[in-house]
A = this chain, B = another copy of it.
C-alpha cells in the first residue's frame, strides 16, 4: 500500500550525508542504537513492534529518479547525487525479537553501517518503531485485563491518517484478535470484523425491518447494533425477534452491540433478556471510548461483555501520543562515542553492545536486564548506571542474550513469522514477567544495569569529554 522511498527522511540527514561524503567519511563504520527513555501509559513495560516492516522497507530503500532531480534542484552537489543514485543500505542490524518486552535506556536495536547509510535510515526507523511499539504496548495492556474476551480494533476512522494501517498491525502484535480495517486485515492475514452503523438503522423507518434486512443480506457473523433508539425497550427485543427468525433459517445471530449509555448496566440487562429468550449463544459486543481502564472496570463489575471494539484510544495510543525513542551514535571511525548531558539520564551508553535478561532457575524473569559490551558473555555483576554503590550479583542466574542479528549486508535474516506467532511470543514473554511490573498503578520498576566494563568505559569517556571544555 505504501511505497517508502528514500526521501521519507529528514532534510538534515541528507545535509549531513553530503558533508560526510565530501569529507571522505562515507567509509567510516558507525554503530547507532535505538532505545527509549520513558515507558508510555505510566506502565511497567513496553512491547517491541515494527521490526519486520522496518527491515522490509530498508531492504528496498532507494532514491528514484524524480527524487534525485528534486535534490539537484535543492542544491545538492553532483558527486553526492551520483552516490545517492546507487544508494542502498548494506549494513547490519542486531535487534530484540519483535514482540519481546523491552525497557527504557537499554538498546532495543543497533545499526552497524557506514555513517551515511546509518544516518539515512534513521527517520523511517524511528517513525515506524516508535509508533508500532507505542500501539503494541497499549494493546497489550488491554489484553492483560480482558481475559478471554475478544478484542477488536475499530480505530481506522480516528487514526492519524494512514498511521492506522500500522496501528492495526501493532494492535495484533500486542494481543488484539481482529480489526475492522479491511486492507490491513487482508495484507496481514488477520480476521476483518464489523457490525453495523447507526446510519443503517436510521435509513429505515423502523428498527425491526432494518435488523431483518441486515440478517438476511449478510447473515455471516451478523451483529446487530441495538442502541439507535432505546437499547432495552427497542433494540434488544427487535434483535431477539430477528435471532429467532434466523434460527428458523438454520442461522445464528453472532452478537448484539452496545455503543452508548452505561455499558455495564446495559450488558447485564441485555444478557438477561437474551438468555430468557433462549439466546445464550448470542454474544455481547461493546464499544464507545474504551481503553484498558474502562475494560478493566467493566469486567470488575462483571459486565457480561464478550467482545470489545476499541477505537481512538487504541490506534492513537491516547493519552501518550508518541514513544520517545531515539537513535544515538555509540561508535564511529574506530572509537566509542558518547553524548553527554547535564541531565544524567540523557547520557548515552557507548560501544556496540549486547543485552542479557536475568532469569532464575525456573526461567522466570527477575526484573532485570544487564547491558554489556558485545564481546562479553558472562557478566558477574550488574551496576546501577549512576549510583556507584548499587550493584547486583548475577553470576548464578541464567543470562539470556536479547539482541540477535536480523540484517546482514542489507539483507534481512528474519525468519518470517505470522503475526499470530509474534503475538503468541509476545504473550509468552509477558507471562515470564512478574505481575508487579504489569499493574497499572505505580508498577514496579524493571532494573536496567551495566556490566563493569561498560560502566568503566562510559565513565572514562564522560571524563574525557568534560576535560575538553
Q: Which A residues lie at the B interface, using CB under 8 A?
A: 1-5, 7-16, 18-23, 25, 28, 30, 32, 67, 70, 74-75, 115, 119, 122-123, 126-128, 130-132, 154, 156-167, 180-183, 185-186, 192-200, 202-203, 205-206, 213-214, 216-218, 220, 228-230, 233-234, 260-261, 312, 316-319, 321-322, 324, 327-329, 332-333, 335, 337-343, 346, 465, 468-469
Contacts and interface: CB of A to CB of B under 8 A. Distances in A.
Contacts of A185: 11
Contact of A321 (B9, B115, B319): B319
Contacts of A20: 217
B163 A217 contact: no
Contact of A7 (B22, B182, B234, B260): B182
Q: List 10 A-B pairs, minimum CB-CB distance, nearest first.
A: A11-B194, A19-B217, A12-B194, A163-B163, A160-B163, A316-B321, A126-B157, A160-B160, A199-B329, A161-B163
B159 A195 contact: no
Nearest to A338: B202
A200 B329 CA distance: 9
B131 A159 contact: yes
Most buried by B among A126, A192, A260: A192
Given A11-B193, A199-B328, A328-B199, A158 B218 contact: no
Given A19-B217, A203-B115, A322-B312, A131 B197 contact: no
A164 B4 CA distance: 13
7 contacts: A19-B214, A21-B217, A67-B183, A160-B167, A160-B317, A198-B329, A312-B321
Contacts of A119: 197, 199
Most buried by B among A157, A322, A339: A157
Contact of A127 (B75, B156, B319): B156
Q: How many copies does the complex hold?
A: 2
Nearest to A158: B322
A44 to B, nearest CB: 22
Contacts of A127: 156-159, 161-162, 164
Interface secondary structure of A, over-half rule: mixed
B156 A67 contact: no
Nearest to A195: B12
A364 to B, nearest CB: 34
A183 B30 contact: no
B8 A183 contact: yes
A75 to B, nearest CB: 5
A184 to B, nearest CB: 9
B220 A14 contact: no
B337 A202 contact: yes
Given A4-B162, A160-B321, A162-B166, 20 more contacts: A1-B3, A1-B5, A2-B2, A9-B156, A11-B194, A12-B194, A16-B200, A19-B213, A19-B217, A21-B217, A28-B203, A115-B203, A123-B157, A127-B156, A158-B324, A159-B163, A160-B316, A206-B468, A229-B468, A260-B342
